[in-house]
Amino acid sequence: MAATGSNVEEIRNRVVLEEFGVKNVHTTDFPGNYPGFQDGWDMKTFQKNFRIDVVHLDENNIEFDMVGIDAAIANAFRRILLAEVPTMAIEKVFIYNNTSIVQDEVLAHRLGLVPIKADPRLFEYKNIAEEFGEQEASEIDTIQLQLKIKCSRNPRASKDSSDPRELYLNHIVYSKDINWVPLGNQADVFADSRIGAVHDDIVIAQLRPGQELDVVMHCVKGIGKDHAKFSPVATASYRLLPDITLMEQVEGEKAERLKRCFSRGVIDLEDVHGKKVAKVVNSRLDTCSREVLRHKDLKNLVKLGRVRDHFISMSPCFHERRIKLKCSLAPNMAKTKELCNPCAILGTLTLGVGSSRPTRQCSEPFFFNDL
């Protein structure tokens, strides 16, 4: 039966969560589907409605909202962030001495997965012929690192001690023991930045007195599509913005139970004329568990849904991007524009960081700290 009147907006814009199913999961706002709605593609309308808002940003995580797009585009952003945004990672490991219990190939593998702190924008991609050839590393495409460490007994250790941390020196090899060896003019170019491992406490191997490691590593520029070690994020995910509507005023004991049915911070209780009244304060915190629908006296008091074109994206970053912000959206957009070039859909995308921040065109890769 055709949708009419009051429920047409809900069908177009909301995914409805019910007790035994989910409704309106398919996109239906295409031209001619709804009388009275002009759903044809319009660039000005798209530019007006589409926006990206940065909600949370710290050294290890970024959370941002993408509003006004379809799931296919949101997923394209996620996949490009995982597989197309370049970073620097260890590609070649030259082992000159390894007397530890860790085999050479295992040691090389462990070193290759250590995230490296260096700005990939300042390096060129290494030529494939050079990569598999015998040409020397160049300062424009390679970072050279060295790990040289030897375990010895601690002469000051107590005779009664059995703790390896007291008995031995350098018995645990950490990523902080990896040192940068500048090539060419890199010492001058990167004078203000420290190239090395992102985290200092990554355990690489354990040694005993007399055992040592002497390793040289070459880092090159690459993308996650080639190998996961180049991916700048640990996981990139998105979810639709939850939409919670109270159908009537909920008071007293029911309000208390209603609050407990949702994630912390979603429902709050207000004092209205001496009564506790439930109020939705932050629906984005909800996990959409639908716990409230298990209670017969509560399930008809609330309507659960998700906003179809509002995506909450989260990207915890383990591969520090060598700048203040680890995860870049604008290079992501630039790559999206490149992949969609025949359609020219994303040719004029702008990025707005909150309502009070300026916007700029994404014709060239840039990072948020450039704004």
At 172, the amino acid letter reads I
Dist. CA 306–CA 248, nearest whole Å = 19
* Span 117-137, pLDDT tens digits: 998 999 999 876 655 666 678
Query: Which three-class secondary structure string do you get for 114-135?
Result: CCEECCHHHCCCCCHHHHCCCC
Q: 3-state class of 321 per DSSP?
A: coil
Residue 181, domain member (yes or no) = yes
At 337, the amino acid letter reads K
pLDDT at 354 over 50: no
pLDDT at 352 over 60: no
- Give the chain's mean pLDDT: 83
Residue with tokens 């970053």: 317
Both structure tokens of 211: 């055992």
Q: What is the pLDDT of residue 332?
A: 59
CATH of the domain at 147: 2.170.120.12
Instruction: Show the CA angle centred on residue 104, arms to residues 95 and 135, nearest 5°.
Output: 40
User: What's the number of domains the chain is made of?
Assistant: 1
Residue 325, domain member (yes or no) = no
Residue 113, domain member (yes or no) = yes
Q: Do 306 and 238 form a contact (C-beta atoms < 8 A)?
A: no
Residue with tokens 């995914």: 15
Residue 68, domain member (yes or no) = no
Q: What is the pLDDT of residue 297?
A: 92
Q: Residue 245: pLDDT band by 50, 70, 90 thresholds?
A: very high
Strands (E), the chain: 14-18, 21-23, 51-57, 61-67, 87-98, 116-117, 143-150, 152-153, 168-169, 172-174, 179-181, 196-197, 203-206, 212-222, 237-246, 267-272, 275-280, 302-316, 350-352, 359-361
Residue 95, domain member (yes or no) = yes
Q: Which of 242, 293, 286 minimizes the C-alpha distance to 264?
A: 286
Range of the domain at 210: 87-230
The Cβ of residue 232 has, within 10 Å, a number of other Cβ atoms equal to 26
pLDDT at 243 over 50: yes
Q: Residue 146: pLDDT band by 50, 70, 90 thresholds?
A: very high
pLDDT at 320 over 60: no
Residue 127, domain member (yes or no) = yes
Residue 212, domain member (yes or no) = yes
Q: What is the pLDDT of residue 238?
A: 93
Residue 329, domain member (yes or no) = no
Greater confidence (275 vs 347) lies with 275
* Span 57-96, pLDDT tens digits: 887 788 999 999 989 889 998 999 889 989 999 999 999 9
At 184, the amino acid letter reads G
Residue 168's contacts (CB-CB under 8 Å, 6 or more residues apart) are 151, 152, 153, 154, 207, 208, 209
Q: Which segment, 254-268, 327-341, 354-368, is predicted with the most confidence on average? A: 254-268
* Span 299-319, pLDDT tens digits: 999 999 999 999 999 887 655
Q: Do 148 and 213 form a contact (C-beta atoms < 8 A)?
A: yes
Both structure tokens of 173: 């090899």
The Cβ of residue 266 has, within 10 Å, a number of other Cβ atoms equal to 19
